[in-house]
């Protein structure tokens, strides 16, 4: 009998229980014990679900209160000194590392003021992990035994699990040196960290774990030689240690062939490969196995919501069985299911025809089980027939095909993808039109999404208030945000995005070709979840999507108001894309819809327009090569198609939630002004790199993921540091990103300090 396996299950709860309770804990509304109990309940539910679905290999330690990489940092004592001096509980230290903490002293506790560790994208997904931050003084040791506790917890519930750990090479390579140890290369810490890994693995074995899943996803990246050779060192050390469980080494999100040499003789009991993202690698990777090793076939997509095509998957698994024998093959999800929503059953509003095409995490459990049964010749003919019918209905449905859209994409030419004049000429006209001061101040778009906003949106969705009442409410929010910005003294204003639940979903809901869910949440970072809309068919824009709010906002002020749109690549990346049409085509379809919107905004008098592309970086194929250069080309083309239909004095802005992309790639978008997340970049080389960017730029000055308020002096110091290498006349002053997750109080304080700091530099330039 071929076994079925799951690499990880969503940890957020079917109804976002984790978010609600974590935030309640942060707000002091529930105790740590209550929060811990919520975690326990979620884990129990998940294990039970998997067991009942018939999954053979069920993960544990895939749960986290914030991020599983941060869990490991806490477990291994990779805790920079700045977090330990406040005598916080372990849980609070963990959260402080994840999101920063600023707290006044009380009778019993010290004052706390510490920024968060850097948070970065998990490969090309929209999940973010907290970056392990090492220094010369890092001393690896176990500070607890979370993986063991959770293994035992499952065992007590009658579920034997396979604990998951991020492997040593990936853990180190995904980390970075701390400010005080910039010369430290994390991978050089390998020998030091291995004993700690061995210790936790031994403890797991002693607790009864027979097998552990070790994730080494970095194997799908271009790796330097010293990292490649680290695999052999690490896994030899594990093989030599006494009392370890069997290890399944997992890779996912791509093709590992370029790194095959690094893993081909590793002494592990099984390898897992992703054959959804790396179908072409089958023959080569299956050939590295020794006769004792098992192949875990990742065939049920952990990154998308489409129903598995059983006939194709069964073929792949059968190929593996022919090669290796049934007892050396496991049917698995391609990656953790963390990236998929919890349960399709909770979608009551989806069109029945479309719903039939989807499969969320819970449904994927039965998929791995059914495939495993099918290849073991168990009776599943009914399930197979139903699956074939569903796959066929989707490919033939008129809901997925629109001839007009296809024709319009085919008609895109170079005149549509470049501005009428080059930047210097545009800049000259824009200077006249907007007459902005030096160091113009602005924000990235959203303002605090208060409870009041959510309540009113809910009421409107439920039909408890009329469209007019809702519009009135939104207008009052816009007015408040406009007045606030005038008071604080910002130069280029925004309307605050109160009408938007989410920057992609909001547009997705208004575009043809999209479907959206009511409970399809996926963790983005910490307690922040997104509900990606689903691109089901050819995309077009039936009518204007954002013009009304922007025009209203502009009517309230004489300062320039930025129209605010989400760019084509981000709409694509933060949706679940189709898997039957290329990403390029989907992106271009979106770019045409957005082009119409940009042109409508301009015609309505909103002539500073920001088209956000925060996701452009994460879409970058993980390896250098043809696929990457193609991507860069169509991504930039999509942006330019969306934004090039305007006049020279219309000022196009863009925004990115990262900075570790080659400025040349950003340059290819030819936006007049870009803003990028930057506040946590300590490395002066980064600033240097961006100083070559030809157009205007705002390097984000404060972390919007944290409630912490930087002082005016802190802003001044940071700007001064940047201006050492960055030309003053190109520099905009803004936060890292939108302020929607922040409260009003800290927003006011932070922005006031930021604007005051800009004034200091304006004075200096006089
Ligand atoms: N305009 C958006 C906002 O401010 C941008 C968000 C983002 O880049 N993630 O919320
Ligand atoms: Zn951002």
Q: How confident is the model at residue 662 (pLDDT cuts 50, 70, 90)?
A: confident
SS3 for 493?
A: strand
How far does residue 677's CA lie from ligand 2's centre (Å)?
A: 6
Q: 558: buried, middle or exposed (CB in 10 Å: 19+, 13-18, 0-12)?
A: exposed
Residue 687, annotated as binding a ligand: no
Residue spans of beta strands (DSSP E) within 605-672: 608-612, 651-656
Residue nearest to atom 3 of ligand 1 (CA): 738
d(CA 203, CA 206): 5
Q: Report the b/e string of 207-234 with b at 16+ CB within 10 A.
A: bebebbbbbbbbbbbebeeebbbbbbeb
Residue 685, annotated as binding a ligand: no
Q: Are strands 133-134 and 522-525 parallel, antiparallel or unpaired?
A: unpaired
Q: Which residues contact 383 (CB under 8 A, 6 or more apart)?
A: 310, 370, 374
pLDDT tens figures, 71-108: 999 999 999 999 999 999 999 999 999 999 998 988 88
Q: How confident is the model at residue 17 (pLDDT cuts 50, 70, 90)?
A: very high
Quote the percentage of the chain above a pLDDT of 70: 99
Backbone angles phi, psi at 362, to 5 degrees: -60, -40
How far does residue 658's CA lie from ligand 2's centre (Å)?
A: 7
Q: Is 445 in the pocket of ligand 1 (CB under 6 A)?
A: yes
Contact 116, 102 (CB under 8 A): no
Four-residue CA torsion sign, 634, 635, 639, 642: positive
Query: Regarding the domain delimited by 428-510+545-765, which CATH topology (the fold level of the hierarchy) does it fall under?
Result: TIM Barrel (3.20.20)
Residue nearest to atom 8 of ligand 1 (CA): 614
How far does residue 656's CA lie from ligand 1's centre (Å)?
A: 9
Q: What is the pTM of this model?
A: 0.91
Start-end of H helices in 183-281: 190-207, 225-240, 260-263
Per-chain residues with Cβ under 5 A from ion ligand 2:
614, 657, 737
Closest listed ligand to the CA of 443: 1
CA angle centred on 131, ends 125 and 135, rounded to 5°: 160
Residue nearest to atom 5 of ligand 1 (CA): 738
Q: Is 737 in the pocket of ligand 1 (CB under 6 A)?
A: yes
Residue 495, annotated as binding a ligand: no
Four-residue CA torsion sign, 235, 238, 240, 246: negative
Q: Is 740 in the pocket of ligand 1 (CB under 6 A)?
A: yes
In whole numbers, what is the pLDDT of the chain averaged over residues?
96
Residue 571, annotated as binding a ligand: no
d(CA 239, CA 201): 11
Q: Which two tokens stand for residue 292?
A: 């004792």
The atom of ligand 1 lying closest to the CA of 444 is 4
Say which residue the tokens 């963390």 belong to: 338
The atom of ligand 1 lying closest to the CA of 656 is 8
Q: Is 738 in the pocket of ligand 1 (CB under 6 A)?
A: yes
pLDDT tens figures, 506-549: 999 999 999 999 999 999 999 999 999 999 999 999 999 999 99
Q: Is 446 in the pocket of ligand 1 (CB under 6 A)?
A: yes
SS3 for 263?
A: helix
Residue nearest to atom 4 of ligand 1 (CA): 738
pLDDT tens figures, 351-389: 999 999 999 999 999 999 999 999 999 999 999 999 999
The atom of ligand 1 lying closest to the CA of 740 is 10
Q: 139: buried, middle or exposed (CB in 10 Å: 19+, 13-18, 0-12)?
A: exposed
Length of the chain: 766
CB atoms within 10 A of CB 82: 16
Q: Which two tokens stand for residue 102?
A: 């600023």
pLDDT tens figures, 406-458: 999 999 999 999 999 999 999 999 999 999 999 999 999 999 999 999 999 99
Q: 620: buried, middle or exposed (CB in 10 Å: 19+, 13-18, 0-12)?
A: buried
Say which residue the tokens 């002053």 belong to: 733
In what helix (H) or strand (E) does residue 133 lie, and over which residues does it extend?
Answer: strand 133-134
pLDDT tens figures, 27-53: 999 999 999 999 999 999 999 999 999
Q: Does the pLDDT at position 684 exceed 80?
A: no
Residue 612, annotated as binding a ligand: yes
The atom of ligand 1 lying closest to the CA of 500 is 10
CA angle centred on 461, ends 455 and 464, rounded to 5°: 75
Q: Where are the domains of the chain?
A: 3-12+48-64+119-399, 428-510+545-765
d(CA 727, CA 20): 44
Q: Which two tokens stand for residue 746?
A: 């800290």
CB atoms within 10 A of CB 49: 18
CA angle centred on 348, ends 515 and 521, rounded to 5°: 60
Q: Active-site residue 136, yes or no? A: no
Residue nearest to atom 9 of ligand 1 (CA): 614
The crossing angle, in degrees rounded to 10, of helices 190-207 and 225-240 is 40
Q: Yes or no: is domain 3-12+48-64+119-399 CATH 3.20.20.210?
A: yes
Backbone angles phi, psi at 504, to 5 degrees: -100, -45
Q: Which two tokens stand for residue 689?
A: 């790199």
- Which is nearest to 48 in space by CA: 80, 9, 95, 75? 9
> How crowded is the C-beta side of 712, counted as CA atoms within 13 Å?
10
Closest listed ligand to the CA of 445: 1
Per CATH, 3-12+48-64+119-399 and 428-510+545-765 having the same topology is answered: yes
Residues 672-681 have a mean pLDDT of 91
């Amino acid at each position: 009998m071929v076994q079925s396996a799951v690499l990880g299950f969503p940890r957020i709860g079917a109804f976002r229980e984790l978010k609600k309770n974590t935030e309640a804990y942060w707000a002091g509304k529930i105790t740590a014990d209550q929060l811990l109990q919520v975690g326990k309940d979620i884990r129990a539910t998940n294990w039970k679900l998997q067991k009942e679905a018939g999954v053979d290999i069920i993960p544990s330690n895939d749960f986290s209160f914030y991020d599983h990489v941060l869990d490991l940092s806490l477990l291994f004592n990779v805790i920079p000194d700045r977090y330990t001096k406040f005598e916080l509980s372990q849980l609070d230290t963990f959260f402080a590392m994840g999101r920063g903490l600023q707290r006044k002293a009380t009778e019993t506790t010290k004052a706390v003021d510490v920024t968060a560790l850097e948070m970065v994208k998990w490969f090309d997904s929209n999940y973010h992990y907290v970056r392990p931050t090492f220094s010369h003084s890092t001393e690896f040791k176990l500070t607890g035994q979370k993986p063991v506790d959770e293994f035992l917890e499952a065992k007590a519930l009658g579920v034997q699990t396979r604990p998951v750990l991020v492997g040593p090479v990936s853990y180190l390579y995904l980390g970075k040196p701390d400010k005080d140890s910039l010369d430290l290369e994390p991978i050089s810490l390998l020998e030091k960290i291995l004993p700690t890994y061995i210790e936790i693995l031994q403890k797991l074995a002693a607790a009864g774990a027979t097998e552990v899943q070790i994730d080494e996803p970095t194997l799908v990246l271009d790796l330097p030689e010293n990292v490649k050779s680290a695999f052999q060192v690490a896994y030899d050390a594990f093989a030599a240690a006494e009392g370890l469980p069997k290890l399944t080494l997992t890779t996912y999100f791509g093709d590992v062939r370029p790194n095959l040499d690094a893993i081909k003789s590793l002494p592990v009991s099984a390898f897992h490969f992703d054959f959804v993202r790396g179908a072409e690698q089958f023959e080569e990777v299956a050939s590295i196995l020794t006769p004792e090793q098992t192949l875990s076939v990742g065939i049920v997509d952990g990154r998308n919501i489409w129903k598995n095509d059983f006939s194709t998957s069964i073929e792949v698994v059968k190929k593996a069985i022919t090669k290796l024998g049934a007892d050396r093959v496991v049917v698995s999800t391609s990656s953790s299911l963390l990236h998929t929503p919890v349960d399709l059953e909770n979608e009551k509003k989806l069109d029945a025809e479309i719903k039939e095409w989807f499969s969320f995490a819970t449904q994927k459990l039965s998929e791995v089980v059914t495939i495993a049964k099918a290849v073991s010749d168990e009776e599943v003919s009914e399930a197979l027939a139903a699956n074939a019918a569903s796959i066929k209905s989707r490919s033939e449905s008129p809901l997925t095909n629109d001839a007009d859209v296809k024709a319009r994409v085919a008609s895109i030419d170079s005149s549509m993808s470049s501005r009428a004049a080059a930047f210097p000429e545009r800049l000259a006209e824009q200077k006249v039109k907007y007459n902005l001061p030096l160091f113009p101040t602005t924000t990235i778009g959203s303002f605090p999404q208060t409870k009041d906003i959510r309540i009113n949106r809910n009421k409107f969705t439920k039909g408890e208030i009329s469209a007019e009442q809702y519009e009135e409410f939104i207008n009052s929010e816009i007015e408040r945000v406009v007045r606030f910005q005038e008071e604080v003294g910002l130069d280029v204003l925004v309307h605050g995005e109160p009408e938007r639940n989410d920057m992609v979903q909001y547009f997705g809901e208004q575009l043809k070709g999209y479907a959206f869910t009511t409970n399809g949440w996926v963790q983005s970072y910490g307690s922040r979840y997104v509900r990606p809309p689903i691109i089901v068919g050819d995309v077009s824009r039936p009518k204007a999507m954002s013009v009304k709010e922007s025009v209203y906002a502009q009517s309230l002020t004489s300062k320039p108001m930025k129209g605010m749109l989400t760019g084509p690549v981000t709409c694509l990346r933060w949706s679940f894309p189709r898997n039957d049409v290329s990403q390029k085509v989907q992106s271009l379809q979106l770019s045409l819809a957005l082009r119409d919107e940009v042109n409508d905004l301009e015609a309505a008098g909103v002539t500073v327009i920001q088209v956000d592309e925060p996701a452009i970086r994460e879409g970058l194929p993980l390896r250098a090569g043809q696929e990457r250069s193609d991507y860069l080309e169509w991504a930039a083309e999509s942006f330019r198609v969306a934004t090039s239909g305007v006049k020279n004095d219309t000022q196009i802005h863009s925004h990115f939630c990262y900075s570790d992309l080659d400025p040349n790639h950003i340059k290819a978008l030819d936006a007049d002004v870009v803003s990028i997340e930057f506040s946590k970049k300590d490395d002066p080389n980064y600033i240097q790199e961006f100083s070559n960017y030809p157009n205007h730029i705002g390097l984000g000055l404060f972390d919007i993921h944290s409630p912490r308020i930087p002082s005016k002096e802190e802003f001044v110091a940071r700007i001064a540091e940047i201006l050492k290498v960055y030309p003053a006349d190109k520099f905009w002053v803004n936060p890292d990103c939108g302020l929607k997750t922040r409260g009003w109080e800290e927003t006011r304080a932070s922005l006031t300090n930021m604007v005051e700091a800009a004034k200091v530099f304006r004075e200096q330039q006089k």
